[in-house]
A and B are shown apart, each in its own frame.
Chain A
Amino acid sequence: MPDLDLSGYAIDGLTPGRVYTPATVDELSSALAEAQDEKLAAIPVGGGARTGIGNVPERYDAAIDLNGLSSNIEHAPGDLTLVAEAGVRLDRLQELLSDSGQRLPFDIAHPQLTTVGGALAANPVSLTSVSLGGIRDWLLGMRVTLADGTQTKSGGRVVKNVQGYDLHRLHTGALGTLGVVTEAAFKLTPVPDASRTVAAWFSSTVGASEASNMILSGPALPEAIAILSGPAASRGSDVFAGAGAGGQDGQASALLLVRLSGVRAAVIRQVDLATGAAGAAAADGYEVAGADEAERLWPLARGESFDRNGVTARITVKPADAARVLEDVELRGAAGGREAPSCAALAGYGVVTVNWPAGDVEDARKAIIYASSLRDRFGGSVFIEGCPTAVKPGIDVFGPIGPSLEIMRRLKREFDPAGTLSPGRFAGRI
């Protein structure tokens, strides 16, 4: 084999000695069987948007680049279902679906760098989770190649199926540690007739949380509702600079974004409900965003403006506690780093993602210690989605799992007894 530059496959500073680029599932099977025979540690790689997730791998001998598994897409518009191979990019998929007025309601950062397999393995939280759930809620079945090369499937491709154990749910979010996803079947939903975004800016997250509570407890059914704070909020208010967003200094402390979708008449009423709530919660101002503005705003809620070299923590709490987390980060979060962190909170869903811009290693440590303290004070879980490699060895980025960790360890032993797939990367260094 000629010497290739494999630095593009580096994870946490480790560069593999070889790469497999299977174009078919059979080739993948052979690659995995070979890796297992040679006692290699292999890591599946997709579009690269979330490769930094997870603990530092124990070993990393071979990358398995799944981008070549991208030929099969079976869209059945009449059935509202889709089967796609692991290497298919989400942006390509959504474009194809939109031709039939359909979509996979999975709204995440960097769809152009996200493959179907990567989305399933990393299971990022969708912006529309509050109304439409996560990718697992649209997943019908899966094909998975196990560590020894065995090809398996579970579930089905029809919208309802209860046959055998739902192994596809187990592989969702497993970061490729139990098997390599090669194909998945999804149910789809029609693209709504109309969609509008309401943006409201506040002098603190307290007002934004109050407005979002009012909206969520009323008749409106927002498709997405997010609260931004810190630099992300400032960037958002820049979109409305002409409208005086953010008051005198031009910088809003908190920005509430609400996406209302559905039949036009229902959207119009919900827009009124949302702006009414913003007014009642003493917003400094609000706007119904134009399509261009909306397109600039929502990426902020997906975390696309986050500093990928900084520390990103995903905090999951009871939905009602998210406001307190936001407030805490607003007041004390800066103590964890040189600069104030950005927050993107999915209201009504209890997921708050906090990003501290890159600093030195000590800054990163402080940010992580602060983020972890939120778990102790508010319950729930804290997942360090991203941080400098230098600080990773001292922590488990998944946080403590509790007694069920023992079941997870046994699962790993059952599905990958030789420790071929991404050893050490998962929770509890599984």
Chain B
Amino acid sequence: MKSEASGKCELVRDLEVVVGPGYVVWRAEDLLVYEYDGSIDRSMPGIVVVPGSAEQVAAAVRVANRHGATIVPRGAGTGLSGGAVPTRGSVVIALTRLNRILEIDPVNMTALVEPGVVNIDVSTAAAEYGLFYAPDPSSQRACTIGGNVAENAGGPHCLAYGVTTNHVLGMEVALADGSLAWLGSDLREPAGYDLRGAFIGSEGMLGIATKVSLRLLKTPESVRTMLAAFRSLDDASQAVSDIIAAGIVPAAIEMMDRNTIAACEPVYHPGYPADAEAVLIVEVDGLAEAVESDAARIESVCTQNNASEFRQAEDEAKRAELWATRKGAIGAMGTLAPNYYLVDGVVPRTRLREALAKVMEIGAELDLKIANVFHAGDGNLHPCILFDERDREQVRRVIECGHRILEVCAEVGGALSGEHGIGIEKQAYMPLVFSDADMEAMSRLRPAFGAGDSFNPGKVFPGGAVHGEAFGIEATAIRRTGTAEVV
């Protein structure tokens, strides 16, 4: 065993000067926990540094620069596309200590938070002022605002409220040269180019957010959560279309299929009808009269589409119970298989039925079990492929399945990702929707932000990293379908 002194390289010692010796992780066994995020990809970091302030983040960037090391920012590691996986032995800058809510301004309805603040903690802190932060990824009890900004995270309530980019006013970022700069501000309108909008969703490749100014909303005075069970997936999909067609944009419309219901039943005991092929959770919020009227219309749409059961949560406890099942559904997949692979793709909501049918066809062809639990109102599919990672051949089929599902999304004019980002997982699929010229234009942001290849190398663009490499997958040639109807 190496002695501590001899194991430390100069980079470690320089980083220790910045953050203190307790906050640099460099022993191989300690680094292991930073090898993963929520995806199946993994890669060992060189060093992990855990700064305690924005200035320390910037200083750590400067130290890494001096040593020619690349940097991978990391929040809670809940990302699902490999965004926080430390490619190329990078220095990981973990933002877990930057977890302070610096200010809630109830009059201007804003919050200033550090990037390591857990998503739900913002709403919890804002609640005493009758305010909340709208984007609510299903991982909101763990995921952090910095990660949400990097991935432009969504969540069930994005249907009515929009995604992260609609709720972030600005942020202070550590740039590649180790300086700190604000992009946007705490005002409602940015001045100059919308750098804020360009930074959000750039997957940690342009800089590291060190403070984020968030827009808060008034807590709705009334909320109604409903559950509708259907004997066919088609009826449930049609109900979703009909709700939108009726001119109602609920706060959320979530769908769970039979396999998801089977996974949830033993864990949460929601008591769904035994013959249900699909369950919808629909939530409306806002002014009491609007909620009353929308709820009545939604019930009638569901009934017309042969709902076998329709319930309204009569109190907050019942409401929380309905959501616990939905938000915990992915976790419950553990009752069905040792591993799951959560695909994230989007189709126009009018193509939901057809896309779901194709997803199930692909699963059957590849002999894989798929459970669907997703944001139906947005057309944001989340086929959850169940597998056992010890079976390498099965892993290969899982990745192929994910790829083919995204081809379906691209073919019907949809998107490769609704909220999880591209990361390592989908970079090879980017040509399904984007031309070389499109991607070349995007890549111009990196030199403009002074970032070059120093932040999160090998992400988003094709050829950077290989999805599934840890399972022996080699780079696959992705064909262009030429049918993608992306504007």
Contacts and interface: CB of A to CB of B under 8 A. Distances in A.
A392 to B, nearest CB: 18
Contact of B163 (A142, A160, A173): A160
Nearest to A170: B198
A272 B419 CA distance: 40
A156 B192 contact: no
A415 interface: yes
Interface stretch (A196-204, A304-312, A314-322, A333-341): A314-322
Interface residues of A, number: 87
Interface in B401-444: 413-422, 426, 430, 433-435, 437-439, 441-442, 444
A195 to B, nearest CB: 13
B419 A160 contact: yes
Nearest to B202: A165
B192 A183 contact: no
Interface in B154-191: 154, 158-159, 162-163, 165-166, 175, 179, 181-183, 185-191
Overall SS of chain B's interface = loop
Nearest to A408: B193
B202 A77 contact: no
Given A266-B289, A410-B448, A160 B438 contact: no
A160 to B, nearest CB: 4
Contact of A170 (B197, B241, B421, B486): B197
Contacts of A399: 191
A268 to B, nearest CB: 8
Contact of B198 (A167, A189, A264, A401): A167
A338 to B, nearest CB: 29
A270 interface: yes
B202 A404 contact: no
A141 B194 contact: no
Given A157-B486, A159-B379, A411 B193 contact: yes
A59 interface: no
Nearest to A405: B192
Interface string A359-391: 000000000000000000000110100000000
Interface stretch (B62-70, B96-104, B342-350, B385-393): B342-350
A146 interface: yes
Contact of A153 (B185, B190, B379, B487): B487
B183 A136 contact: no
A157 B197 CA distance: 18
A414 B415 CA distance: 27
Among B197, B418, B422, max chain A CB count under 10 A is at B197
A71 B185 CA distance: 38
Interface string B437-481: 111011011011110000000001000000000000000000000
A161 interface: yes
Contacts of B487: 83, 140-143, 153, 155-157, 183-185
A270 B221 CA distance: 13
Q: Which of A133, A183, A266, A415 has the most CB of B within 10 A?
A: A266
Task: Report whether over half of chain A's contact residues are helix, strand or loop; otherwise say mixed.
Answer: mixed
Interface in A162-198: 162-167, 169-170, 172-174, 178, 183-185, 189-191
B396 interface: no
Contacts of B158: 160
A370 to B, nearest CB: 19
Nearest to B486: A156
B422 A318 contact: no
Contacts of A407: 175, 181, 183, 193, 195, 448-450
26 contacts: A80-B249, A137-B166, A152-B435, A156-B433, A160-B158, A160-B375, A162-B151, A162-B422, A163-B415, A164-B438, A164-B460, A165-B445, A173-B190, A173-B194, A219-B221, A221-B287, A263-B293, A402-B181, A403-B179, A403-B182, A404-B182, A404-B183, A407-B175, A407-B195, A407-B448, A427-B193
Given A178-B193, A401-B191, A407-B448, 15 more contacts: A79-B379, A125-B189, A137-B166, A156-B415, A160-B158, A161-B416, A164-B439, A164-B442, A169-B194, A170-B197, A173-B194, A319-B107, A401-B192, A407-B175, A407-B193
Interface of B: 105, 107-109, 151-152, 154, 158-159, 162-163, 165-166, 175, 179, 181-183, 185-198, 200-202, 218, 221, 241, 244-245, 247-249, 286-290, 292-294, 346-350, 375, 378-380, 413-422, 426, 430, 433-435, 437-439, 441-442, 444-445, 447-450, 460, 485-487
- Pairs A-B, 5 closest by C-beta atoms: A169-B197, A161-B415, A265-B289, A190-B247, A266-B289
